[in-house]
Amino acid sequence: MLALDLLLQGIVQGAIYALIALGLTLIYGLLRILHVAHAALFTLGGYIGVIVTNETGSLWLALIVAMVLVGLLGIVIYRLAYKPLLDKSPLVALIASIGLFIAFEEVFRLVFGSYGLSFESPPLRTQVDLGGGLLISHSKMLVIGMAIAILSILAWLSSRTRTGIAWKATVTDSQIASSFGINIERVRYLNFFIGSALAAAAGVMVALLTNLVEPTMGAVASYKALAIIVLGGLGSVRGTLVASIAIGIVESFGTVYIGHILDRDALAFAFLVIALMIRPQGLFKAG
Amino acid sequence: MSKVTKVLASVVLGTTVLAASISGQADSIKVGFNVPLTGFAAADGKSARIGAELAVEQVNASGGVNGKNLELVIYDDQASPKESAPLAAKLITQDGVVAGISGSYSGATRAAATIYQENATPYISAYAVHPDITRSGDYVFRTSFMGEVQGRAGAKLVGEMMGKKRVSIITLANDFGKSLEAGFKEKAAEFGIEILGEYDYSIKDREFGPIVSKVKAEAPDAIYASGYFFTAGPLVSQLRAAGVDVPVIGQEGYDGEMFIKIAGAAAEGVIITTSLDRDSTEPLAQAFIQGFQKKSGYPADMVSASTHTAVLVLAEAMKQVDPSDKAALRDAIASTSINAATGHISFNKLGEVRKSVQVQVVRDGGWHHFAVISDPVLLAPPEE
């Protein structure tokens, strides 16, 4: 029963990693930019989630507001920070991204204070019995449910709609896609909107689980999400999903059984190193 | 640098400072104060600063030190040794302070303590816990508990006073958490405690799902968990959300309003070992608690009580001797025996404080009296 419970905790954590890393991998796949500032959007999502829930009492409204606002901010970041740098070396965009991330952290500190914010009455704390005494809180069910729902919608979008097919075409070869009349710029906007909205959703989910959002909460997410997309095979959506869940599960069992030797991050990176020694190209090929 | 040149250097530096302080303003006595006003420890730093300033105001309002006013020279050390060491040198050599107080964490305090010791200038660590701080030398003192001492008090509290024998330990893997764990485990068997499981987490962790599941499966009578408010708040919140409702015993890292704000209703019933009794009827403690609330706009916490105590210790010692004679001032601090907001204070020969441990519980959204542990043998800090 404990093993099942730990597996469940690992999947919950993995689902959060997946929501964060997916945006990152989508952006990398399309533009070859390592978007470190993505983790700041995750933090902002958490803040908006807590503030709107405390003001209105509705977590659902908070989730939607967070996803829409942060999604729009993602577009603004692309337009103002990355677009002018697209013809430069990818390192330039990476440095801009790190700068943005640091700037965002300080802005959060100035605007929201350095002590962090919490839900006045944490939502979805009640538990459900999955049978045999395996309990899961509504908030954790929501995390898993959200991840499944969002990923299914994305899969459907990308294979069954014109926009999705245009998106895939642009990822594969943007020049040819453009010559077929696809508006590349629109695809990029959409990409940043969706990726950033997913990060915001992850921020709200983390706030639900920990009941604390802080200016620095993106720090761990920033490097772990990078590790995950590398492990998944840079740019591969499927690889990112598998890597997220795998790292979530490794951390879940690891913190309990060998946590006094290796802390959570060390565990995740040890796993990454071993996995990449076996498969240097990552788990899956991009695409 | 050989020992002789080191001593020579300190003497030369010492006399220079002496000369500077004599030639400087004669109507105030300067005391150095390093405190994290920005960065991750800024919340504690704010309380630490207000606590120290309150003590200075109170001392000056009641006639100062032999007719002279105390003056704090405050610098932001960001809780970083890289900042605190040069600041300590600046305070001693340029600002001409006669003594220093740390309102900061262990890393920053250790680095500064070395500089103060080299310059034969008394230094009091208000709430940093690392054992090596006082081992810097005979000019360094500490007015808060070492982690080990508080850990031992925790074992007595859990095993004897609360009668909880089956305990899971959750430890913050840094010097603070590890020393608490060591003290707790040292005395666990003596108080009949069986340790069911031990789990470490890093200071970056906020999500404790796996540890909570494992602890829940162990079904302990109590949980001994170390941490600061920003880790303990989420931890307690997640333990309660998972239906683990046995007592959680923490320490002074929880102490303050932020823990209650984060954990919310889940904070109710959490018990900690700390330095300040909110319900104390002692006039000194009451004057501090009310004075702090008035000055800061929020309730007093362990950190502010500790810096307040450190300033009082220094002020009382200064009244006994000529404060510009640092060696005499050091001796006067070493023989301290005063009452402060955190209880009766004296030091052992290492410069570690001897005082009672206050046990507080969260009730109706605030910290309240639960018990006092004043067993001098159990709470004896190391002598060397």
| pLDDT confidence bin for A172, thresholds 50/70/90 | confident
Q: What is the pTM of this model?
A: 0.86
User: What CATH number did the domain enclosing A165 receive?
Assistant: 1.10.3470
How far is residue B380's CA from residue B273's CA, in Å, rounded to a whole number? 16
How far is residue B91's CA from residue B72's CA, in Å, rounded to a whole number? 11
Query: Are B248 and B286 in the same domain?
Result: no
Which pair of structure tokens corresponds to residue B325? 């004679």
Kindly list the distances between the CA atom of residue B222 and the CA atoms of B163, B184, B196, B245, in Å, as whole numbers in the listed order.
10, 13, 10, 9
Least Cα distance to A2 among B239, B241, B215 occurs for: B215
Residue A166 has a pLDDT of: 86
> What's the mean pLDDT in A43-54?
96
Query: Are B41 and B189 in the same domain?
Result: no
Tally A–B CB contacts below 8 A. Answer: 104
Q: Domain count for chain A, please give it.
A: 1
Q: Which one is predicted more confidently, A174 or B172?
A: B172
Query: Are B285 and B301 in the same domain?
Result: yes
> What's the mean pLDDT in A118-145?
83
Kindly list the distances between the CA atom of residue B303 and the CA atoms of B45, B152, B369, in Å, as whole numbers in the listed order.
8, 21, 17
Residue A178 has a pLDDT of: 85
- B287 vs A: CB within 8 A: no
Residue B378 lies in a domain: no
Query: Are B219 and B307 in the same domain?
Result: no
Which candidate in A11, A12, A106, A115 is best for mutational testing of the B interface (most B CBs within 10 A)? Answer: A115
Strand B357-363 vs strand B271-274: parallel, antiparallel, or unpaired?
Answer: antiparallel
Residue A21 has a pLDDT of: 92
CA distance B202 to chain A (A): 6
How far is residue A247's CA from residue A21's CA, in Å, rounded to a whole number? 12
The range of the structural domain enclosing residue A250 comes to 2-278
Binning chain A into helix, strand and coil, the percentages to the nearest 5 are 75, 5, 20
> Could you give the percent of chain A with pLDDT greater than 70?
99
> What's the mean pLDDT in B180-190?
95
Residue A283 lies in a domain: no
Residue B124 has a pLDDT of: 97
Residue B168's beta-bridge partner residues? B197, B223
Query: Are B17 and B92 in the same domain?
Result: yes
Contact state of B263 with A259 under an 8 Å Cβ cutoff: no
Which pair of structure tokens corresponds to residue B336? 């301290």
Mean pLDDT of chain A: 89
Contact state of A13 with B230 under an 8 Å Cβ cutoff: no
Q: Domain count for chain B, please give it.
A: 2
Strand B194-201 vs strand B338-340: parallel, antiparallel, or unpaired?
Answer: unpaired
Residue B22 has a pLDDT of: 41
User: What CATH number did the domain enclosing B177 receive?
Assistant: 3.40.50.2300
How far is residue A130's CA from residue B275's CA, in Å, rounded to a whole number? 44
- The length of chain A in residues reads 287
The per-residue pLDDT for range A247-258, each reduced to its tens digit, is: 999 999 999 898
| Cα end-to-end distance, chain A, whole Å | 38
Query: Are B247 and B367 in the same domain?
Result: yes
Residue A284 lies in a domain: no
Query: Are B224 and B302 in the same domain?
Result: no
Query: Are B261 and B323 in the same domain?
Result: no
Q: List the single range of A96-100, B128-132, B307-311 with lowest mean pLDDT.
A: B128-132
Task: Please give the torsion angle defined by the CA atoms of residues B22, B25, B30 and B32, in that order, rounded to the nearest 10 degrees.
Answer: -90
Binning chain B into helix, strand and coil, the percentages to the nearest 5 are 45, 20, 35
CA distance A172 to chain B (A): 37
Strand B357-363 vs strand B366-373: parallel, antiparallel, or unpaired?
Answer: antiparallel
Residue A285 lies in a domain: no
The per-residue pLDDT for range B221-265, each reduced to its tens digit, is: 999 999 999 999 999 999 999 889 999 999 999 998 889 999 999
Query: Are B9 and B94 in the same domain?
Result: yes
Least Cα distance to B162 among B304, B384, B361, B381 occurs for: B361
Query: What ipTM was predicted for this assembly?
Result: 0.87
Query: Are B204 and B219 in the same domain?
Result: yes
Residue B1 has a pLDDT of: 45
- B219 vs A: CB within 8 A: no
Query: Are B226 and B341 in the same domain?
Result: no
How far is residue A70's CA from residue A73's CA, in Å, rounded to a whole number? 5
Residue A287 lies in a domain: no
The range of the structural domain enclosing residue B202 comes to 147-274+358-373
Kindly list the distances between the CA atom of residue B193 and the CA atoms of A252, B211, B245, B379, in Å, as whole numbers in the listed order.
27, 20, 19, 18
Residue B383 lies in a domain: no
Helix (H) / strand (E) element for B30: namely strand B28-35
> What's the mean pLDDT in A16-35?
89
Query: Are B332 and B368 in the same domain?
Result: no
Closest by Cβ to B213, choosing from A9, A118, A209: A9
Residue B134 lies in a domain: yes
The per-residue pLDDT for range B337-351, each reduced to its tens digit, is: 999 999 999 999 999
Residue B382 lies in a domain: no
How far is residue A17's CA from residue B352's CA, in Å, rounded to a whole number? 46
